[in-house]
Amino acid sequence: MEVIITDGIQTIITVKGRLDTVNAPDFEKTIAPIIAGNMKDVVINCAELDYIASSGLRQFLTLQKTANTKQGKLTLKNMKDEIKEIFDMTGFTALFGVE
C-alpha cells in the first residue's frame, strides 16, 4: 500500500493487492493521520486493488464518514470490474463517488 499526499488539500491513496482481515489493521494505521488531520478531499486509486473484504470496506466507510464530517469528498477511482461488483453487491457504490 502506498499513500501519496499532494498539496496538503487532496490526499491520494493507492491501494495495492488485497485489503482483507490480515492487512486492514495496517491500512487503518496508514489512514489514521489522514483522518486526524485537516483532510478535505481523498482519492483512493483502486487500479491495483485485487481483493477487498468487509474489513477493507469498513475502512473505506470510515474515510467516507470523516470526509462528510469535514465537508470533504472521497472518490474511488480506477476500480477493477470484480472490485466494482463487490461494491455493487453490498450497496456501497451508492455511498461513494466512483469514477
Confidence of residue 36 (pLDDT cuts 50, 70, 90): confident
CATH architecture for residues 2-98: 2-Layer Sandwich (3.30)
Lowest mean pLDDT among 6-10, 26-30, 72-76: 6-10
Per-residue pLDDT reduced to its tens digit, 73-82: 999 999 999 9
Query: How far apart are the C-alpha atoms of 41 and 50, rounded to whole Å?
Result: 24
Query: How far apart are the C-alpha atoms of 90 and 76, rounded to whole Å?
Result: 15
Per-residue pLDDT reduced to its tens digit, 47-76: 999 999 999 999 999 999 998 998 889 999
Q: What's the predicted TM-score (pTM) here?
A: 0.88
The percentage of residues in the chain with a pLDDT greater than 70, rounded to a whole number, is 91
Structure confidence at residue 6 (pLDDT): 66
Q: Which residues pair with 14 in a beta bridge?
A: 2, 45
First to last CA, the chain: 20
50 CB-near residues (< 8 Å, 6+ apart): 17, 18, 80
Phi first, then psi, for residue 49 (nearest 5°) are: -80, 115
Structure confidence at residue 92 (pLDDT): 93
Q: What is the mean pLDDT of the chain?
A: 89
